[in-house]
């Protein structure tokens, strides 16, 4: 990664294609109640419950699997188990409420790039009445938007959202170690020794953490810009790492999530929906095909 001229400010991303292409080509004891009238679920055919419901944005696959383990799902009156599949005509209930799951079977995947401004929160309801990210998004006829990771209220930049719960789960799962790149404005000088410490690892209250990469990208006067990369999604990790070394962060912006970069032309508060070709690249990165069972 090359250094930026001092007067350029935060750099959005390393790839040269960032300004026009957000995804460069080069770039994871239930109680069973039976009924004489109930039709048992088909064990081999159909699709797994968690895959269909996650695809429809009901919840993440892992959360749905937990619901199944807790005995909260029934198919044709019979409590579902992990591995149970849905077939055409099956009657599904979650917490005894009917779910018309068929509408999720052919649910087309949509993925949004949202340039989150500071001051907005990534939540569906906020008791303090602060601006909410989800109110800025286009409505969905089926399902709901799922945020891929979070950004705190004082962090701006790239927020990925999708209606495909399986895709969101793959992109957020710790085992995938997806790179998150941030542009950080620092107040004051940072020594080489401090930068080395941040790359070697710092013991935080929730465990050891580090920056995988740190690159100086310019700045003027007392403000210096760095691009840093982490592969974890812990809460406020980037800020906490800098603050552990008594470094003041005056601005923080996420510029990349995995292969997806924040386009330089996308203003704060704007939404960009990726096209089919870009979407397929994202599916490939996540290790899944649109019609492949995960």
pLDDT, tens digit (0-9, with 9 covering 90-100), for 11-26: 555 444 444 568 776 5
Question: Per-residue pLDDT averaged across 80-96, rounded?
Answer: 92
CATH number for the domain formed by residue range(s) 47-105: 3.10.290.10
Q: Which residue has the higher pLDDT, 164 or 268?
A: 268
- pLDDT tier at 70, thresholds 50, 70, 90: very high
- pLDDT tier at 2, thresholds 50, 70, 90: very low
pTM: 0.73
At 58 the pLDDT is 83
> What digits encode the pLDDT tens for the residues 107-133?
688 999 999 999 999 998 889 989 999
Q: Between the CA of residue 187 and those of 10, 213, 252, 284, what are the distances in Å?
A: 14, 19, 12, 39
Distance CA 197, CA 4 (A): 23
Residue 286 has pLDDT above 80, yes or no: yes
Range(s) of the chain covered by CATH 3.10.290.10: 47-105
Q: Which of 16, 152, 206, 212 is catalytic?
A: 152
At 102 the pLDDT is 83
In the annotation, is 152 catalytic? yes
CATH number for the domain formed by residue range(s) 110-285: 3.30.2350.10
Residue 159 has pLDDT above 70, yes or no: yes
Cβ partners under 8 Å of residue 133, min gap 6: 114, 116, 120, 121, 122, 123, 147, 159
Range(s) of the chain covered by CATH 3.30.2350.10: 110-285
- pLDDT tier at 106, thresholds 50, 70, 90: low
């Amino acid at each position: 990664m090359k250094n930026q001229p001092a007067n350029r400010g935060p750099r959005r991303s390393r790839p040269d294609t960032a300004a026009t292409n957000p995804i460069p080509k080069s770039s994871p004891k239930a109680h069973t109640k039976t009924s004489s009238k109930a039709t048992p679920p088909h064990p081999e055919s159909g699709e797994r419950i968690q895959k269909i419901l996650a695809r429809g944005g009901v919840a993440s696959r892992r959360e749905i699997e937990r619901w199944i383990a807790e005995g909260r799902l029934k198919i044709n009156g019979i409590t579902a188990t992990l591995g149970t599949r849905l077939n055409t005509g099956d009657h599904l209930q979650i917490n005894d409420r009917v779910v018309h799951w068929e509408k999720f079977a052919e649910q087309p995947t949509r993925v949004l790039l949202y340039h989150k401004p500071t001051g907005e929160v990534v939540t569906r309801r906020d008791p303090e009445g602060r601006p909410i990210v989800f109110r800025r998004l286009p409505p969905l006829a089926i399902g709901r938007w799922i945020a891929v990771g979070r950004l705190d209220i004082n962090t701006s930049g790239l927020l990925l959202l999708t209606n495909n719960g399986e895709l969101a789960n793959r992109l957020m799962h710790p085992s995938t170690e997806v790179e998150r790149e941030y542009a950080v404005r620092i107040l004051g000088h940072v020594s080489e020794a401090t930068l080395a410490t941040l790359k070697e690892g710092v013991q935080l209250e929730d465990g050891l953490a580090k920056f995988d990469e740190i690159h100086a990208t310019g700045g003027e006067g007392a403000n210096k810009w760095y691009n840093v990369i982490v592969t974890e999604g812990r809460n406020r990790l980037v800020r906490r790492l800098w603050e552990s070394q008594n470094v003041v962060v005056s601005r923080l912006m996420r510029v990349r999530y995995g292969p997806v970069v924040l386009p330089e032309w996308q203003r704060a508060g704007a939404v960009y929906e990726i096209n089919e070709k870009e979407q397929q690249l994202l599916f490939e990165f996540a290790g899944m095909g649109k019609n492949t069972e995960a």
